[in-house]
Chain A
């Protein structure tokens, strides 16, 4: 198995685990971590593609690295915003549950 295939399979596994967590874990903090795991999977895939040198037949393509760093910063910012929201929610509602309160009829 070539290194790239190994990387690609790792990426698949990470995306799969993250996806499962996003769907099945009820607590928003776990969902957030799942999002980060899934994001890491995408980043690993991007890194592996760089090794393939997709752009112009180069030995290794430097562009994905530059994009990756931006994507990581964006994911970090998203995580920070979400954690801040979650802290405010726990402060004001004493629980971080995402479920809507039952409809008041």
Chain B
């Protein structure tokens, strides 16, 4: 086998990668040793340190010509293990570090120990798991081989599952157990694929594999198995069996971690596999399957979100829809020759989408959690007056919603522009419809919530608990970050993609999106959006309500265990078929 040594000559700053992975884990162990009160202090030392490390990595990466490389113990692949950070990994690490710091500040109110207060088990577990999630994610972003990635993914799952059941009620425990078991199905499939690749090519190092892998049955089987397994962990429709109860039931500070960060780990791995390891094996038709599932996730997730009675469940279903967005870039990354996915604008767009979703969704879950904490419930129907009682929280939710909808200059806006450009370039007009329609669907549930919280109320809303200022501003900061992400991303992207936000064309698009969303929300929401006198009981409204109910019921059926696990197998076969049909 030819070994291109330059792939693994250690670069300057490579040791930073190892440090970024180790720091959260060292903090975790230190906190575990020192116990209770110290753990939070250790976490708050780790957060700025980790952020500084990641910024240092970014600076080193900008200075270097290629990816940063670190060889563990000085052994080079295929026998040794390399840590590598390319632009994708560095960008994700930056986003994750920022979001972790924001969530850490937010969680002070819920899980911070005040002087004199007894230590609680939930708080102790939370800070440990937050650090564990961070360390595992950093490992996912810098791992250079597929087996290390397997271990990193399992670490991520083991850290994510207990976050679901911090409250310890039967309902959350059940959600956590479903999550765990389904994630285990996914990881066995991934491991099986990795084993097949090792059997076929004798290495699991990604750059080495990329050189030797051929479009032949063993690679196709491995790719189909690994992709399907990872989709189960990412909860892409129709494998979202565990997502709504898990994300909707966890405490807000934990939901934010799960929704914003944990699902991105396995998504990132799919991107790695498709773009970096096996670009010669993947085919356009297989990518169309991923894109179609993504489009279905947007439609079903958004409509079911509109039917929810509780704010946190609505946000959880919105995550399901947004995960769909992350998969739209796969078909778009193929250029018109269809020879394989390229590192072009579509990939940049997908990455931006992931980063802006991470920040916006963390802000959104935090706002929902603050509402729940302050009112003692999060029934959407009873939120009238909330905007007046807690204006900063409502503003954070609104800004996060605008960022998700893709209003200039949010990251999602630039992501949409890039993907639209890729759709034009590759002549796949049908994805233009999905991209534009998706924004309307996103707008619908944002409008629904905003109308509810802005509704007037005769007497002021009684707050059962004062809202923590720090938490409110943490949520607001993350939402604003998401809304301004496009400006930060202008470096690697030509500036022509950003236009004047007040230009008539942009305002027109925004107006169309919001109006379309309002119409959808009006038609499909469980309760009438506006005061009852108008909503009436016209036939149209009844028919539409029935459609909404049908979506809700079919979502319930899809999320049954047997159905979901058979879907997982069908997906393996479909992907395998799509790979063989075009490549064989």
Which residue numbers of A lie inside 8 Å of B, CB to CB?
Answer: 15, 18-19, 22-24, 26, 28, 31-32, 35, 38-39, 42, 45-46, 49, 52, 54-56, 61, 63-64, 67, 70-71, 74, 77-78, 81-82, 85-86, 88-89, 92-93, 96-101, 103
Contacts and interface: CB of A to CB of B under 8 A. Distances in A.
Contacts of A89: 170, 173-174, 177
Contacts of B173: 85, 88-89, 92-93
Given A28-B181, A45-B195, A54-B198, A93 B174 contact: yes
A49 B191 CA distance: 14
Contacts of A23: 561-562, 565-566, 569
Contacts of A35: 181, 184-185, 188
Contact of B177 (A15, A64, A98): A98
B148 to A, nearest CB: 9
Contacts of A28: 177, 181
B224 interface: no
Nearest to B195: A46
Interface size class of B (residues with CB under 8 A): 35 or more
B170 A92 contact: yes
A36 B203 CA distance: 25
A49 to B, nearest CB: 4
Nearest to A56: B202
B202 A55 contact: yes
Contacts of A26: 561
A86 B201 CA distance: 39
A39 B288 CA distance: 31
Contacts of A46: 195, 198
Nearest to B1: A56
B558 interface: no
Contact of A63 (B79, B185, B245): B79
Contact of B158 (A45, A64, A78): A78
A67 B556 CA distance: 39
B562 A85 contact: no
B140 interface: no
B200 interface: yes
A92 B158 contact: no
Contacts of B157: 78
A100 B174 contact: yes
Contacts of A18: 188
B178 interface: yes
Contacts of A70: 147, 151
A66 B158 CA distance: 22
21 contacts: A19-B569, A28-B177, A35-B185, A39-B188, A42-B191, A42-B195, A46-B195, A49-B195, A54-B198, A61-B202, A63-B79, A63-B198, A64-B198, A67-B147, A67-B204, A81-B162, A81-B180, A82-B181, A85-B177, A92-B170, A100-B174
Contacts of B425: none
A100 B78 contact: no
A20 to B, nearest CB: 10
A100 B245 contact: yes
Nearest to A8: B199
Contacts of A63: 79, 198
Nearest to B153: A74
Interface in B159-185: 161-162, 165, 168-171, 173-174, 176-178, 180-181, 184-185
Contacts of A78: 154, 157-158, 180, 184, 187
B192 interface: yes
Contacts of B201: 54
Contacts of B330: none
B150 interface: yes
B173 to A, nearest CB: 4
Which one of B161, B195, B565 has the greatest number of beta carbons of chain A within 10 Å? B195
Contact of B151 (A54, A74, A85, A92): A74
Q: Which of A23, A88, A96 gathers most chain B CB within 10 Å?
A: A23
Given A35-B188, A42-B192, A85 B198 contact: no
Contacts of B184: 32, 35, 78, 82
A55 B188 contact: no
A51 to B, nearest CB: 11
A12 to B, nearest CB: 11
B180 A82 contact: yes
Given A54-B199, A92-B170, A98 B147 contact: no
B263 to A, nearest CB: 19
Those 3 A-B pairs whose CB atoms lie nearest each other, nearest first:
A93-B170, A55-B202, A49-B199
A23 B188 CA distance: 14
B192 A98 contact: no
